[in-house]
């Protein structure tokens, strides 16, 4: 009986120890996270099965920054953001404004002091779609609801809180639905310039 109680006591003590370690580990994980916000301008365009007079479009984006440092030079970063993209056309006949919820997952490497470079992949989820031209107004729900993309960029911190970043987003995927008349395949490019603020 005593041996059984001793074994039970050891098991109970071990369980408490593991629980405490897991709690401490989880606490340390969240303590290391870096948080911030960002906002800025987009310059976006569409290529493929669209109006041949298509031009680039200016719009905006806003989002959050969640970064996990792995060591002093390497971070994993997630940036949930709302972004208005699409295209413009010189004759006003086929312009599109598309609102996306973007979720990029990036690897960030600090190269020199406060200068870092980033690369990764993203998922874009369509929130809204608006045809702004004479031809596009009669073609609702033309773009796919979800598509993947690639992201590369760079960031510079002016101090511990403020910084700026530049991004290039590219989607090689076909963005327009097959039943919407897409015969060539349509890709998207987006240049982004953002002001960022980190909560330190």
Cα separation, 106 vs 23, whole angstroms: 27
9: three-class secondary structure by DSSP: helix
Residue 145: exposure state from Cβ atoms within 10 A (0-12, 13-18, ≥19) = exposed
pLDDT in tens, 147-185: 999 999 999 999 999 999 999 999 987 888 766 565 567
Write out pLDDT tens, residues 75-126. 999 999 999 998 887 665 568 889 999 999 999 999 888 899 999 999 999 9
Collapsed DSSP state (helix, strand, coil) of residue 181: coil
Choosing among 1.10.1040.10, 2.40.160.20, 3.40.50.2000, 1.10.1490.10, the CATH entry for 34-199 is 2.40.160.20
Strands of the chain, DSSP E:
34-47, 54-55, 57-69, 74-78, 81-89, 96-112, 115-131, 146-157, 162-171, 187-199
Rounded to 5°, the CA angle 54-151-97 comes to 35
pLDDT in tens, 29-87: 677 899 999 999 999 998 876 666 678 899 999 999 999 999 989 999 999 999 999 88
């Amino acid at each position: 009986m005593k041996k059984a109680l001793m074994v039970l006591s050891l098991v109970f003590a071990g369980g408490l120890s593991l629980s405490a370690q897991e709690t401490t580990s989880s606490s340390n994980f969240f303590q290391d996270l870096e948080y911030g916000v960002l906002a800025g301008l987009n310059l976006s365009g569409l290529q493929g099965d669209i109006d041949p007079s298509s031009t680039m479009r200016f719009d905006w984006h806003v989002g959050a920054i969640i970064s996990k440092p792995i060591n002093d030079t390497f971070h994993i970063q997630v940036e949930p953001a709302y972004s208005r993209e699409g295209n413009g056309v010189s004759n006003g006949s086929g312009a599109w404004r598309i609102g996306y919820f973007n979720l990029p997952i990036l690897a960030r490497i600090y190269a020199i002091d406060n200068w870092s470079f980033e690369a990764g992949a993203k998922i874009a989820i369509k929130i809204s779609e608006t045809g702004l031209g004479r031809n596009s107004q009669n073609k609702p729900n033309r773009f796919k609801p979800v598509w993947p993309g690639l992201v590369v960029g760079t960031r510079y911190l002016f101090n511990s809180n403020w910084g700026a970043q530049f991004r290039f987003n590219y989607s090689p995927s076909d963005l327009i639905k097959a039943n919407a008349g897409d015969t060539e395949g349509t890709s998207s490019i987006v240049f982004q310039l953002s002001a960022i603020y980190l909560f330190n």
